Structure 1
Amino acid sequence: MLNPKTHDREFFGAFGASSIIVFLPLVVSIFSFLVNDKYSLQGVSLDLNRLQQIVPSSTQEWYDLAFDASSWKAYLAWFFGLVVFDKISPSKQMDGTVLRDGTVLKYNINGVYVAGTLLAILAARAYRFNLNLPELHFIYTHQLQLTLVTIIFSFAMSVFVYVCSFIPTTKPNGVGTRERILAKGGNSGNPIYDFYIGRELNPRIGSWDIKMFCELKPGMLLWMLINLSCLHQQYHAQGQVTDSLVLVNFVQLFYVLDGVLNEEGVLTMMDITTDGFGFMLAFGDLAWLPWSYSLQARYLALPENTLHLGLWKCALILALKFGGFYVFYSANRQKSDFRQGKLDHLKSIKTKTGSKLLCDGWWAISQHINYLGDWLVGLSWCLLTGFQTPLTYFYAIYFAVLLLHRQTRDDAKCREKYGEQWLEYQRRVPYKIIPYVY
């Protein structure tokens, strides 16, 4: 059967899915109220009276913010401009995983070119306008409007791919139609749950893959621009740039560029191979990522939160960041090389599917040692804001929960796929993420 029914539902089924659909956009919107030039969270106390003064009290005010014409024009130009650029940019074509019907999708890998061109354009404009870029000023002064725009746009995208998942698509040879390949976890028959989790595995318009595009380009690159807009604002409003904000821009830009430099690695991620593209990924890629990951920069850009760390604090935080990155990168590289047959001397367990479970090197320390490295990188971002507020540590808490959830999903998937060999692997490598702890 091409598209088996989904029986096991995550997130407590439709109830959990509907709660997340309401709750997460609300969280992202609250962030935009807490870190803007009208109101900020200073220290650990909330001045609720001041907050009430700027939160819109009428439907008309909310409508004006959510449907601000200039913000919609800017975002639509950004998104669809990237779509066009994605199609015309020089790229390397790579195969995805083999699908259930035996077909293999082709992907154009061009993230380095797209990101490099964008940075080159920004650098040229910064030189041309003496570091006074109107586009960065617009992003900074329209944070709330753009946040609401991306939320609404992600809802619209989710509706579009959900409706399209019911429409037959053309066969690979272009002759006739066939049923679309649905995600194993997104074919429950419950519209709310399937809308959230993602019904179709690889929604496409022609050869353009919607999920792959959204995974790295519009949200990730917007995050980079938001951070730069904060640095731009601090320079022009305060006549200085602090070491804390410069380093937040540096370490997070490093993360973004590492993502696009290793774009082909996304093809083997669970997001692409297993998950459908629905609200969970659309909202996560387009709204949650740029506006929650930029929280540290937006907080530090406010005059009342100006923070000078000094040389030693900066050095220690950078050591944590690059230490975490080394663990993350070298562990992933070791697994990639092993899969390519380059490290056959490492210990492994041969499974009933013919594949091997690596249990040597980094992968003898814990089952997901790369997760630990990735989390340490995120913690370094938070430490750059000092200890003035718990708000800027939201990412470290959220990311820990996300990684724990990924670990449990991966464990269930591997237990079903490998059976006894997975139990043997767990015996040899008992720790899930943190060595000697969990």
Structure 2
Amino acid sequence: MSSPLNPKTTHWEFSGLPGAIGITLGLPTLIIFFALITNENYSLTGINLDIQAIIDQLPQNSTEWIDLCFDKTCWLAYLTWFFGLVILDFILPGRSLNGVTLRDNTKLNYKINGLAMSGTLLAVLAARVYQSTNWYLPELQFIYDNHLKLTIVTTIFSFLLAIFVYITSFIPLITPNGVKTRERVLSVNGNTGSVIYDWFIGRELNPRIGTWDIKLFCELRPGLLLWFLINLSCIHNQYHKYGEITDSLVLINALQAFYVFDGVLNEEGLLTMIDITTDGFGFMLAFGDLAWLPWSYSLPARYVCLPEHKVSLGFSNIALILGIKVLGYYIFHSSNKQKSDFRQGKLDHLNLVSIPTKTGSKLLCDGWWGLSQHINYLGDWLIGWSWCLPTGFQTPLTYFYVIYFGTLLLHRQMRDEAKCRAKYGKQWEEYEAKVPYKIIPYVY
């Protein structure tokens, strides 16, 4: 379907349909693989894989596969978690903010209640610890003991959610008078006409049920907070099963928990990011938010919580890793704040060097943004290194995140560059001459 509001998509991301199919099949397989090689029946050291030992963990017949994929207790637990957070999203207080102007000249309103949501989760956890005997929480142990099943549950749920939002993208919206209909705003990337590709990349830009925004909720709630609980379950298991908690596992928990709650508490910043403003919500984001994020990002914690992989860092190594984290966080947040303040006119008195464009905006090429075109990406990548370094150097597996995330940042940079070149033309060429480095100053 093509219209003045929703032109037909001509540029296909990820090499088109083959890439979409490959990612749809490959990434769920990868997180299942991660589950099979980081558990108490199998542990990987180095790069040598015992393929037979991995295969032996899998079901041997169709009945066992059904039991693995559709375990009633795991499904009930996850659905309670997901829709419990939906209910909290509705009832907890928050601020009302408008997003960016859409192509139909409207702005969507968002309820920002990350503080209330975080406080509620932490209060429930604190209450459960207070009620517990010897700090034993069956909920956390359940997460740890059902790692593989929950990985599969979140993956299947992502498929189902992507199907739901794809189907609803064809249903016209009802205007306030209840008579006429208006066209949904589709993603500029997801209106190819290919069912599989549009389902994967996301056909509708901001799928909603009433005023409840599905995409923003999934970005910052079920997967992000589940990641926090998965990490806690590793500490819980290590303490109750082995009678100790290693400093490496505590450090990973602390650093990643800071990242989780920093994101939730600053959710308004997401309203101007490409995930919300440009990308449709399909399988790519649904799976990424609900399954990929919690089960791949928690890999370092799940690895070092096993007794054969435990790492004792000591004060000096902890200080070094914290230094990398602080540096990354400082670069990421101060650079983003500088750009935000510049756009709002708060830095006009500093006369920062910038390039006026034909669209009326300005390209900042001073301060942080004179060092590289995406200096904030460098800060984000350094934060990722601080999560992986506590695992030591036992296997490249625990450094998967920085490799994956570095690749993702390069892809984002190329997407942004193509968009800006088309949007700004000669002004972008002038900008590239002033700021030649893409991400890492004086390197790339």
Please give the TM-score of this superposition, normalised by the length of structure 1.
0.98
Residue in 2 that maps onto 1:62: 65
CA RMSD of aligned residues (A): 1.0
User: SS at the partner of 2:384?
Assistant: helix
**Where does structure 1 lack aligned partners over 5 or more consecutive residues?**
none
User: SS at the partner of 1:132?
Assistant: coil
Does the 8 Å CA contact 1:371/1:433 hold for their aligned counterparts?
yes
Residue in 2 that maps onto 1:119: 122
Please, which of 352, 369, 376 is the counterpart of residue 370 of structure 1?
376
Task: Kindly state the Cα deviation for residue 332 of structure 1 after the two structures are TM-superposed.
Answer: 0.6
Q: For residues 393-408 of structure 1, what are the structure 2 equivalents within 5 Å?
A: 393-408=399-414
Partner Cα separation in structure 2 for residue 374 and residue 360 of structure 1: 20
Pair 1:316 & 2:320 matched = yes
Q: For residues 180-219 of structure 1, what are the structure 2 equivalents within 5 Å?
A: 180-219=184-223
Cα displacement string for residues 61-116 of structure 1 (whole angstroms, at most 9, x for unaligned residues): 22111100000000000000000000111010000111111111000001121012
Corresponding letter in the other structure for 2:237: Q
Cα displacement string for residues 105-146 of structure 1 (whole angstroms, at most 9, x for unaligned residues): 000001121012101110121122031111001000011010
Cα displacement string for residues 373-413 of structure 1 (whole angstroms, at most 9, x for unaligned residues): 10011011111100001111100100000000000000011
Pair 1:12 & 2:18 matched = no
Identify which range, 275-284 or 29-38, moves more after superposition: 29-38
Residue in 1 that maps onto 2:430: 424
Q: For residues 240-319 of structure 1, what are the structure 2 equivalents within 5 Å?
A: 240-319=244-323
Cα displacement string for residues 40-78 of structure 1 (whole angstroms, at most 9, x for unaligned residues): 112332222322221223222221111000000000000
User: SS at the partner of 1:229?
Assistant: helix
Pair 1:349 & 2:336 matched = no
Residue in 1 that maps onto 2:74: 71
Partner Cα separation in structure 2 for residue 384 and residue 96 of structure 1: 38
Judged with a 3 Å threshold, the aligned counterparts in structure 2 of structure 1 residues 116 and 174 are, in CA distance, closer, same or farther, namely farther
Partner Cα separation in structure 2 for residue 65 and residue 41 of structure 1: 23
Corresponding letter in the other structure for 2:50: D
Residue in 2 that maps onto 1:106: 109
Corresponding letter in the other structure for 1:298: R
Identify which range, 8-17 or 170-179, moves more after superposition: 170-179
Task: Kindly state the Cα deviation for residue 12 of structure 1 after the two structures are TM-superposed.
Answer: 0.9
Corresponding letter in the other structure for 2:17: A
Cα displacement string for residues 17-53 of structure 1 (whole angstroms, at most 9, x for unaligned residues): 1111111110011011111122111233222232222
Judged with a 3 Å threshold, the aligned counterparts in structure 2 of structure 1 residues 54 and 409 are, in CA distance, closer, same or farther, namely same
User: SS at the partner of 2:56?
Assistant: helix
Pair 1:381 & 2:387 matched = yes
Corresponding letter in the other structure for 2:40: D
Partner Cα separation in structure 2 for residue 83 and residue 108 of structure 1: 12
Partner Cα separation in structure 2 for residue 144 and residue 267 of structure 1: 33
Task: Kindly state the Cα deviation for residue 172 of structure 1 after the two structures are TM-superposed.
Answer: 5.4
Identify which range, 57-66 or 118-127, moves more after superposition: 57-66
Does the 8 Å CA contact 1:351/1:357 hold for their aligned counterparts?
yes
Partner Cα separation in structure 1 for residue 213 and residue 55 of structure 2: 43
Judged with a 3 Å threshold, the aligned counterparts in structure 2 of structure 1 residues 177 and 296 are, in CA distance, closer, same or farther, namely same
Residue in 2 that maps onto 1:223: 227
Residue in 1 that maps onto 2:417: 411
Pair 1:96 & 2:110 matched = no
Residue in 1 that maps onto 2:330: 326
Residue in 2 that maps onto 1:30: 33
User: SS at the partner of 2:196?
Assistant: helix
Task: Kindly state the Cα deviation for residue 259 of structure 1 after the two structures are TM-superposed.
Answer: 0.3
Partner Cα separation in structure 2 for residue 50 and residue 27 of structure 1: 17
Partner Cα separation in structure 1 for residue 42 and residue 177 of structure 2: 57
Corresponding letter in the other structure for 1:431: Y
Cα displacement string for residues 235-254 of structure 1 (whole angstroms, at most 9, x for unaligned residues): 11111100000000000001
Q: For residues 152-167 of structure 1, what are the structure 2 equivalents within 5 Å?
A: 152-167=156-171
Q: Which structure 1 residue ranges, 4+ long, deviate > 3 Å from structure 2?
A: 172-175
Pair 1:235 & 2:239 matched = yes
User: SS at the partner of 2:42?
Assistant: coil
Judged with a 3 Å threshold, the aligned counterparts in structure 2 of structure 1 residues 404 and 199 are, in CA distance, closer, same or farther, namely same
Please, which of 143, 150, 155 is the counterpart of residue 146 of structure 1?
150
Identify which range, 254-263 or 121-130, moves more after superposition: 121-130
Corresponding letter in the other structure for 2:229: L
User: SS at the partner of 1:6?
Assistant: coil
Partner Cα separation in structure 1 for residue 71 and residue 430 of structure 2: 57
Task: Kindly state the Cα deviation for residue 267 of structure 1 after the two structures are TM-superposed.
Answer: 0.1
Aligned residues: 438
Cα displacement string for residues 413-438 of structure 1 (whole angstroms, at most 9, x for unaligned residues): 11111111111111100000011111
Partner Cα separation in structure 1 for residue 441 and residue 56 of structure 2: 48
Does the 8 Å CA contact 1:44/1:388 hold for their aligned counterparts?
no
Partner Cα separation in structure 1 for residue 421 and residue 233 of structure 2: 46
Partner Cα separation in structure 2 for residue 26 and residue 418 of structure 1: 40
Residue in 2 that maps onto 1:436: 442
